[in-house]
Amino acid sequence: MADNILDRFKENTEETIIDTSRKIRVGIIGTGWIAEAHLESYRHQPDVEIVAGADLVEGKAEAFFDQAEAYIGLSDLPALDLDPLAQDEEET
């Protein structure tokens, strides 16, 4: 019985095969301090494609993705500045 319990702590050496024929399209909402870690994590996932980013602060998303383009080779991402009140203003 003790052997079975200890076997649970052995490292799994099975290789997981990821189907990259279909990509998960990701948008990063909020380009604050944690966004760079998310970007780096997504970059290492072969089945993920970063397609957009947005931030409430005008120009912040664009600056973040301009820097990211140089850092990890992203290009042509639509960086959006979102104004949460803009929709309400347009409707009235």
Average the pLDDT over 4-25 and give the result: 79
23-83: CATH topology is: Rossmann fold (3.40.50)
Mean pLDDT score of the chain = 75
Q: Tell me what the mean pLDDT of segment 26-55 comes to.
A: 88
Q: Are 69 and 75 in contact (CB under 8 A)?
A: yes
**Residue predicted with more confidence, 69 or 61:** 61
pLDDT at position 71 over 60: no
- Does residue 88 carry a pLDDT above 80? no
Q: pTM of this prediction? A: 0.57
| DSSP string over 3-60 | HHHHHTTSPP-PPPPP--SSPEEEEEE--STTHHHHHHHHHT-TTEEEEEEEESSTTH
For the chain, domain boundaries: 23-83
Distance CA 64, CA 31 (A): 7
